[in-house]
Amino acid sequence: MSGGFVICEYDKVKQEFPEYLSVMNETRNKLIAKAEKDWDMTFSGRRKIVEAAKFGVNLMPPGPGLDVDAGAGEFGESTVIPAAFRNISNTTLTSWHQWFTATGAQIIMSGANGGNIYKDYKIGLVGLAFLDKAIRISEFKMQISDKKIGRVNVEEAMVYNKPAFVLEEGYILDEETGFDLTALVLSQGPQTIKLLGQMVYRVKDKMLTNTGAALL
Whether residue 53 has pLDDT greater than 90: no
Residue 166: strand, helix, or coil: strand
Q: Regarding beta strands 42-43 and 74-79, do their DSSP bridges make them parallel or antiparallel, or are they unpaired?
A: parallel
Q: Which of 161, 87, 165, 176 is nearest to 126 (CA)?
A: 165
CA distance 82 to 192: 11
pLDDT per residue as tens digits for the range 123-145: 999 999 999 988 999 999 999 98
Whether residue 14 has pLDDT greater than 80: no
CA distance 36 to 34: 5
- pLDDT (mean) for 107-125: 97
pLDDT per residue as tens digits for the range 78-103: 999 999 999 999 999 999 999 999 99
Where do the structural domains in the chain lie, given as residue ranges?
A: 5-208
Interacting residues of 35 by C-beta distance below 8 A, sequence separation 6+: 41, 43, 75, 122, 200, 202
Give the chain's end-to-end CA distance (angstroms, integer). 31
pLDDT per residue as tens digits for the range 165-207: 989 899 999 999 999 999 999 999 999 999 999 999 999 888 8
Grade residue 1 by pLDDT with cuts at 50, 70 and 90: very low
Which of left, alpha, beta for 188 (phi over 0: left; psi -120 to 50: alpha)? beta
Looking at 147-151, 177-181, 210-214, which range is the least confident one? Answer: 210-214
H and E: helices and strands count for the chain: 3, 12
Looking at 18-27, 37-46, 62-71, 86-95, which range is the least confident one? Answer: 62-71
Whether residue 120 has pLDDT greater than 80: yes
**Which amino acid belongs to residue 202?**
R
**Which amino acid belongs to residue 129?**
A
CA distance 149 to 136: 20
pLDDT of residue 61: 54
pLDDT per residue as tens digits for the range 54-86: 666 565 555 555 577 666 789 999 999 999 999
pLDDT of residue 93: 96
Residue 150: strand, helix, or coil: strand
Grade residue 211 by pLDDT with cuts at 50, 70 and 90: confident
pLDDT of residue 10: 86
**Which amino acid belongs to residue 51?**
E
Residue 126: strand, helix, or coil: strand
